[in-house]
A and B are shown apart, each in its own frame.
Chain A
């Protein structure tokens, strides 16, 4: 199955600053997905990133807060902008598995905003 390299694995950031999270996949994929997992909670889809087009955001998430880049078929970034403590979460990227059934997740970025 596709292998995802996600970084950074964790960071502690000051409020008001921005953090960019990177995901690199070892194979070409059409869609990449970005999720947020708040402490002790489930996973919530932030947006879907297709190469060559604007990301599609889910309700409650906006491009100004979570800009996404998808420059090619193996790479994507998610930026968490103007951070507040409420943004403290684990952020994960995900891609479809090679056989087309199910999804593989990156190891996640644990973000703490102070």
Chain B
């Protein structure tokens, strides 16, 4: 099942904060976050693993609630470069790369 992201779209002014949520109906092994700019490939931001380990971007943070099968991506003091579509990708077991992506959240940061 595809994870559900919310909101679908958000518009920010530079310097404002945003939270993007990702919720799955299945037990999760890991949650990934990617950003895709228009016409470009998705770029890895962060991975959150079952058990609490996190690896990724040093200016973007995220949380992973294993019991609720939910993850949130926190974008603080947003910059123009943060604009793009954010996707969460979930792994339900350590199957080596079998990611199921959410439908995406379009983030626009305005000056």
The reply to whether B44 and A97 form a contact with Cβ atoms under 8 Å apart is yes
The reply to whether B47 and A102 form a contact with Cβ atoms under 8 Å apart is yes
Binds B, one of A14-22, A36-44, A72-80: A36-44
Q: Which residue of A lies closest to B54 (CB)?
A: A101
Q: Is B97 an interface residue (CB 8 A)?
A: yes
The reply to whether B55 and A102 form a contact with Cβ atoms under 8 Å apart is yes
The interface size of chain A toward B, counting residues with CB under 8 Å, comes to 21
B 41-58 to A, binary, CB cutoff 8 A, 1 in contact else 0:
111101100000001100
Binds A, one of B10-18, B66-74, B75-83, B100-108: B100-108
The reply to whether A33 and B44 form a contact with Cβ atoms under 8 Å apart is no
- Distance between B42 CB and nearest chain A CB, rounded to angstroms: 5
Known: A42-B87, A102-B47. A92 touches B97 (CB 8 A): no
Q: Report how far A99 CA is from B46 CA in the complex, Å.
A: 13
Known: A102-B32, A103-B44. A96 touches B97 (CB 8 A): yes
The reply to whether A102 and B41 form a contact with Cβ atoms under 8 Å apart is no
The reply to whether A31 and B96 form a contact with Cβ atoms under 8 Å apart is yes
Q: Is A45 an interface residue (CB 8 A)?
A: yes
Q: Report how far A99 CA is from B87 CA in the complex, Å.
A: 21
The reply to whether B103 and A42 form a contact with Cβ atoms under 8 Å apart is yes
The reply to whether A103 and B32 form a contact with Cβ atoms under 8 Å apart is yes
The reply to whether B56 and A101 form a contact with Cβ atoms under 8 Å apart is yes
Q: Is B99 an interface residue (CB 8 A)?
A: yes
The reply to whether B55 and A48 form a contact with Cβ atoms under 8 Å apart is no
Known: A31-B97, A45-B99, A48-B97. A105 touches B42 (CB 8 A): yes
B44 contacts across to A, CB distance below 8 A = 97, 102-104
Chain B residues at the A interface, C-beta cutoff of 8 Å: 2, 32, 40-44, 46-47, 55-56, 87, 89, 96-104
Given contacts A45-B100, A96-B97, 19 further A-B contacts (CB under 8 A): A31-B96, A33-B97, A42-B87, A42-B103, A43-B42, A43-B89, A43-B99, A44-B101, A45-B98, A45-B99, A48-B97, A101-B56, A103-B32, A104-B44, A105-B41, A105-B42, A106-B41, A107-B41, A108-B40
